[in-house]
Amino acid sequence: MNEIFSIKNKVAVITGASGVLGGSLAKSFIEAGAKVVALGRSQEKLDAFVKELKTSGGDAFSVEANVMDISSLEEASKKIIEKYGKIDILLNIAGGNIPAATLSPDQSFFDMDMKGWDEVIDLNINGTVYPSFVFGKAMAEQGSGSIVNISSMAAYSAITRVAGYSAAKAAITNFTQWLASDVALKFGDKIRVNAVAPGFFIGDQNRAILLNPDGSLTDRSKKVIAKTPMQRFGEVQELNGAVQFLCSGAASFITGALLPVDGGFSAFSGV
């Protein structure tokens, strides 16, 4: 691999590391020679995942922490610094939609479970802001680092039924731009903050919405494919290269950017 794209020996903290997206990125980063810190709320699940990462000869470490608890994250940061001496990369992967905040086709906004709204807002916004606050502070102290957040197609334009998730992801896009500007102005050009905006990938959270029990497309997923020029859903591993690029020296003059990985969904009007 061209060295400009290398993340070898970089210490990468990945929140939500034992999930589908976080797990895919962790494995990809291990293969690229990074030292992966898997962060999550279940130590048992994290330990099993890290054991799997180590079987390939990678350097991995698990730390139990709650992304919505500052003190928990500060304890995690201390452990990581004690072990590796630095934090080079933060991937804010924890987040996603929740059933309580998703409207059914026959519901309107005024049927929203506002507790569900609060939960999805807290999970996505504070679940990104808090780790950025704690691990970004370590980057500021050492004078370098890269943060990558997860936005969404829902931050570009309205997607029915997911009001809370959409609002949260739009906020993450704005926060990414704001934090990128703030740290560059105050701590120099070696700390960068960017985001990727995944298109439509089939995962545990949206499988029932996008696929019928027999595996055929639902009416909703047919609309998605119709607006996706590549005419297919994404594969989770197709996010790995984009994220690695943003963390590498190849992206040294890129900060505050939102990179769509969407098969053209955000570019296409549907006509």
What are 188's strand-pairing partners? none
Q: Is 156 a catalytic residue?
A: no
Alpha carbon distances (Å) from 24 to 21, 36, 49, 232: 5, 12, 11, 20
Q: Which of 84, 130, 156, 165 is catalytic?
A: 165
What is the β-pairing status of strands 145-150 and 60-64? Answer: unpaired
Residues assigned a catalytic role:
165
